[in-house]
Structure 1
Amino acid sequence: MMNCSSRGKLSSFFRTSSSSRSACRQYIIPSHQPVRRLASLAQDVRSDSTFRIPIVDFGRFMSPNSPREREDTANEIVAAFKEVGFVYLSNHGISKSTTDQVFERSAAFFGMPMDVKSKLAWDDPRSNRGYVEQGKERVTQSSDAAEIAELRAKAPDSKETMEIGRDWDSTWKNKWPKEQGCPGFKSTMLEFFQTCHELHFQIMRSIAIGLDLQETFFDDKIHEQYHNLRLLSYPAIKTEILRKEGQARAGAHSDYGTLTLLFQDSVGGLEVQNPHTQQFQPAAPVPGTIVVNVGDLLSRWSNDILRSTLHRVVAPPATKINDREQMTPKRQSIAFFCNPNGGALVDCLPSCHDSSRTKKYAPVTTEQYIVQRLSETYNY
């Protein structure tokens, strides 16, 4: 569990006046997305023409002007997760300088020679650590091994990744490049891992409040930091390849855990499926925000009250090479996959079932579920 000093590091960012937070909120709302009342969200998302992912000021939860403001923010987040499964969080406490440094170190890692990266290869779903080259992964909702193998052969995801877990694990070790080959990589990623965990801890508290649970309900179920920090590099690619049937930079999928914290660069390409129309809609980068989405385990935990929504990465605007070809630019993103403790039993939350809404899923431990999904996804 976080100690007081670690919580204080994240919280200190929010010790600003309410007027400055308001100014930030006005800045990050894109011109094409007018401010709407929370009550209209359920109506907006039922049409593709008005579909939106809400922007929520998390500073109002971390440093509220009143208890009511904190509760209202928690309800906004839960409403977004019920209707869309996604939210943009502003005033989240992670500085631009921090994320810039992570992106720089990530780019340096992927720029290393292939023979160096290959020595750090991912090799076990129980560990889920190390480098994954292009063609090894095909994210999909299918659980059929033969179908996944066919999809991977036909249209593998056009990306490479580096997977990092908690570094003190006595069973599974992270795979780090040598310091002289990638200076500052390990220290930067370890610090960022802890920072993201602290934010996850607070978001889960907001979800507890929004679901009429005790604020600390999840505290002892997520404190072991059984998470995964994923660095992603999407190389530049001819646009015609991404337009082939079934091909994408990352195929349509949902995430496995409780929440995902996604840090995007400015290139774009992320799309979210409208749960009500099944059409994919752009989730364009919004300066100063983190994209946060519900994963499968949190959806199960909530009896599907909170949505684990399909999403994918496709081709953003391309650069013309000649009269016949276009090139889609390279893209970077950082995903922090939040999970409950490995041995935590994910069973229906007490506020999410009653005589009129029965439990939909059998209990499962985090480790059982995550290892099964990873085993199905990778080509090993």
Structure 2
Amino acid sequence: MPSAIPLVEPYTHVPETKEQLDWAHLTNIDLSKYGTPEGNNELSQVLIRAIKTKGFFYVTNFGISQKDVDQQFALGQAFYKLPLEERLEYVADLDAGNYTGYRPAGRRPLTGGIPEKIEMWNMSTEDGQIRQPLPQPLDFYRDDIENFSKALHDKILDPLNHLIALALELPEDHFKDLHRWDKNDESHLRYMKYSKFSPEEVDALKDNLWIRGHTDLGSWTLLFRQPVAGLQIRDPETKGWKWAKPLDGSLTINAGDALSYLTGGYIKSTVHRVAVPPKDQQDVDRLGLMYFTRPQNEVLLKTVDSPLLQREGYSQNDFEAGGHEVPTMEEFTKLKQKWNQRKGVSGEQAEGQQILPGVIEKRLAKKPTKRARKAAQQLRLELARNAKIDQRQRKYSSLDEEGLNGEQQTIFDLVVKQGKSVFFTGPAGTGKSVLLKKIIRSLSTKYLGDDSRIGVTASTGLAALNIGGTTLHQFAGIGLGEAPTVMLIQNISKKKINLWRWLNVDVLIIDEISMIDCVLFDKLDAIARELRQIDLPFGGIQLIITGDFFQLPPVRKGSDDGSPKFCFESEMWNQAIHHTIGLSQIYRQRDPEFTVMLNQIREGRLSPTTIEKFRELHRPLADNGVEATELFPLRRQADQANSRRLRKINGVAHHYHAEDGGIITNEDTRKGLLSGCAPESLALKKGAQVMLTQNFDETLVNGSQGRVIGFANKDTFSSSQWEDEACEPQSSALTLHPVVRFLTQDGDSLVHICAPVEWAIEQYVPDPLDPDRWIVEKLATRTQVPLLLAWALSIHKAQGQTLERVRVDLGRVFERGQAYVALSRATSMEGLQVVSFDPSKVTVHPRVKTFYASLSKG
């Protein structure tokens, strides 16, 4: 008696979303035009443009009935209605890189610790037949499934391969012969189920993605219309994400890695992802029907000999450019599928899906071409990221933790040992910079000396130099940062070193955060997410941010009332920062009473006693050989004051002109980078008051003040000869450098000759000759005497400095925070002179007070 036909329930498509999504505008390939010379020529040009501009396109009128398509959806639905125990009998050998069969859900964790809910059923053919075991009811419909797969080849893939050959000026059957239906390959039909998430799971899913950004490894991917929106495409030009609209009667098709290799990179394998559906479709499962086609197993992934590709300069792919053995499609498929399906490895841990490390690693030891060097850079990014999994478990015995107090140790443990994003703040003199330097040194140890993974930045050039970094703007590659975010992303993407820096960095440090506004902070977050293709705050980069918002505010005026827009007002601030910790122990000021007074200035709440104490500081300071440095609100005021004082000194001026260098040749750009270090030109006379701008040792540090007592040649200099300040150089023909008597923190003095030193703005880049090494490039350098005239400084220049003797005229201040920054530079009341103390000049922005009040309550 014949067996009964298994009942297959018809599949009903759910309604399309009513939400207004940002849909991609894709080209349509109308195959009704295919088959005539004129139609083929027209379609070949339309197709090649579509692939090169978007990578995805629609195909309509492809000759397969909707009834046949719906039957495959119904069979997919029937498969997923089978008991899980039965489906598990058909699990593919995923660990070996085999996709044929069932792939259960939960293979990878998603962001937020949510288990993935994606299941796959893949059916491949051998010599034109499906030979793998099939459960019922699929086994009963085996012939229908085979015929459907063959129809895809005959009616869609063969025409597409024909059209591509025409576009590349190849024999018409060139690509068809590489994709023969009756030959062994890894092509397969897939039923793919995305199970719905609960509202709580959606909230916990940090990046809102079912599948992260990736490319497909084959030649073509055919996606049949699925009304539940989810597919998102990254535009190759703007790098923005667009939703792919499910059009009636259409197929959505994209090119994959194999076509990219076969065309030497001319055809791009476009990045795409699957997002959680819109809210009106989040209550249903999403069933996908797709077909993945690949060249035959024995096909070598070498660049085809195309006249068009030769003219356009696409004669080698990344394998060939490295001078290494080109893999077969079978080798590439198995290795990459094995990589993609590593069990328990999250998408974040497996970042950078476009290149398979196991394949590229052995093929790019040498890189004679720019394109090969670019591929090597991408490889190293992948290898570095993969190493994170093990490195974050290491125990390091040489971390720089000595001398930390309890508050500092808590911060240190969070950022160095636990990898948390932290904002730490506190009054001036609480050791923020000292702690930050210890963190930087320890992170270097943690990352085994690979400092390219640590972005050390600050809001100003001087602050950056103090911690051995660069400005935030320079690191980010954004110029002034005023352009729209989309334009900034485009500009960064065009400069491979800027793009590489964003992709490679694990930790971003930002010092003096008070001078960064929230507009820039949000832009940087958007840039990081887009470039890294990780939809987490700052693309998953760990943030270490420090500063004091009671100090100088952002320069940019962003709000309607002209007031600054602080970084903590950013939309992303609370999402990006895991912990906020305040330091309270003061190191700079040794007098507890003075510490209390400065805290009242900081918070804008002055007691009558504090007001009276500051007014008493109007008296002149005792003469100890070094005058108090006067702080001015504006730099030009400080420069004018210094020039006046220098002109009053009788004697010969010695002029020192900086020598600039570095790989940046644009003079304006280089000067901008070096603006925070030494002056281009410096005039000094005997008797000039100066400040040291480099750290020499524990006694002579950046900010040490002194007086020029003469000039000498460094090769013949002896400090003992200058103790009485009577020594003079014997020959004017020698190169002379200033000799300075510095005042030390303990009240003593020290004589030192100040020969020129080099400042360098550096970046880490891959060594073009060795893929395992990183080298330091000097963007800009300046060699100059490490001194500044220091009768006067701008308050901006003084931020972050410790000064033993300070004179402040509060009658001149005009900006919130200036009074506090100026007064807190002093180490004691004995070394501080305050002129025109006016309590009304001591102002704090109300939004800053509110922010810190919320921290204290928390």
Q: Aligned match of 1:177 in 127, 131, 135? A: 135
- Aligned partner of 1:162 in structure 2 is 121
1:277-327 deviations in whole A, cap 9, x for unaligned? Answer: 2211010100011011000110111122112111111122224xxxxxx94
Match of 1:366 among 326, 329, 333: 329
Q: Which residue in 1 is equivalent to 2:260? A: 299
RMSD between aligned residues: 2.6
| Paired residues for 1:276-287 under 5 Å | 276-287=237-248
Partner of residue 308 from structure 1, selected from 269, 273, 276: 269
Partners in 1 of 2:262 and 2:225 — Cα distance?
Answer: 27
Q: Which amino acid aligns with 1:234?
A: Y
Which whole-Å CA distance do the structure 2 matches of 1:207 and 1:327 have between them? 38
How much has 1:236 moved relative to structure 2?
A: 2.1
Q: Distance in 2 between matches of 1:55 and 1:217?
A: 24
Q: Relative contact order (C-alpha < 8 Å, sep 6+): which is higher?
A: 1
Conserved 8 A contact 1:57-1:90: yes
Q: Secondary structure at the match of 1:353?
A: helix
Q: Aligned residues: percent identity?
A: 24
Q: 2:288 aligns with which of 309, 315, 333?
A: 333
Q: Do residues 231 (structure 1) and 187 (structure 2) align?
A: no
Cα 1:314–1:55, aligned 2, differ >3 Å: closer, same or farther? same
Aligned position for 1:289: 250
Contact 1:61/1:70 (8 A) holds in 2: yes
**How has the CA–CA distance of structure 1 residues 284 and 306 changed in structure 2, closer, same or farther, with 3 Å as cutoff?**
same
Offset at 1:330? 1.0
- Secondary structure at 1:300's aligned position in 2? helix
Counting matched residue pairs gives 309
Give a deviation string over 1:212-257, Cα, whole Å, max 9, x none.
Answer: 1111112322112521111101122224534522452222111000
Q: CA separation in 2, counterparts of 1:103 and 1:50?
A: 24
Uncovered stretches (5+) of structure 2, i.e. residues with no partner: 1-20, 320-325, 344-858
Change (3 A) 1:283 1:222: same
Per-residue deviation at 1:103? 0.3
Matched residue, 2:81: 111
DSSP-derived class of the 1:201 partner: helix
Distance change >3 Å, CA 95–CA 376, structure 1 → 2: same
Distance change in 2, residues 1:247/1:355 (3 Å) = closer
Deviation at 1:167, TM superposition (A): 4.7
Matched, 1:56 2:29: yes
Contact 1:158/1:250 (8 A) holds in 2: no
Q: Give yes or no for contact 2:258–2:301 (8 Å, CA) kept in 1.
A: yes
What residue is the counterpart of 2:168 in the other structure? 211
Deviation at 1:360, TM superposition (A): 3.1
Residue aligned with 2:34, SS: helix
Say if 1:242 and 1:314, in contact at 8 Å, map to a contact too: no
Q: Return the alpha-carbon distance in structure 2 between the equivalents of residues 311 and 359 of structure 1.
A: 25
| SS class of match (1:249) | strand
Q: Report what 2:201 is aligned to.
A: 241
Change (3 A) 1:328 1:239: farther
In structure 2, distance between residues paired with 1:238 and 1:192: 35
Q: Does 1:191 align with 2:147?
A: yes
CA deviation vs aligned residue, 1:38-82 (integer Å, no higher than 9, x gap): xxxxxxxxxx989521112111114x4xx2222101110111001
Of stretches 96-105 and 258-267 in structure 1, the one that deviates more from structure 2 is 258-267
Higher Rg of the two aligned structures = 2
Structure-2 separation of matches of 1:111 and 1:372: 32
User: TM-score by structure 1 length?
Assistant: 0.75
After superposition, the Cα gap between the structure-2 partners of 1:239 and 1:200, relative to the gap in structure 1 and judged at 3 Å, is: farther
- Residues 169 and 94 of structure 1: is their aligned pair in 2 closer, same or farther, counting only changes over 3 Å? closer
Distance 1:129 1:283 in 2: 27
Q: Match of 1:44?
A: none
Amino acid at match of 1:277: T
Residue number among 192, 196, 215 corresponding to 1:254 in the alignment = 215
Please list, as runs of the form range in 1=range in 2, the aligned pairs for 1:61-140 lying within 5 A after superposition.
61-62=34-35, 64=36, 67-124=37-94, 125=96, 127-136=98-107
The 1-side partners of 2:136 and 2:304 are apart by 44
Which one-letter code corresponds to 2:201 in the other structure? I
1:313 and 1:103 mapped to 2: Cα distance?
A: 19
| Aligned mates of 1:341, 1:235 — CA distance in 2 | 33
Partner AA of 2:60 in structure 1:
S
Q: Which residue of 2 aligns with 1:35?
A: none
Mapped to 1, the partners of 2:240 and 2:341 lie a distance apart of 27
Normalized against structure 2, the TM-score is what? Answer: 0.34
| Local SS of the residue matching 1:218 | helix
Other-structure match for 1:144: none
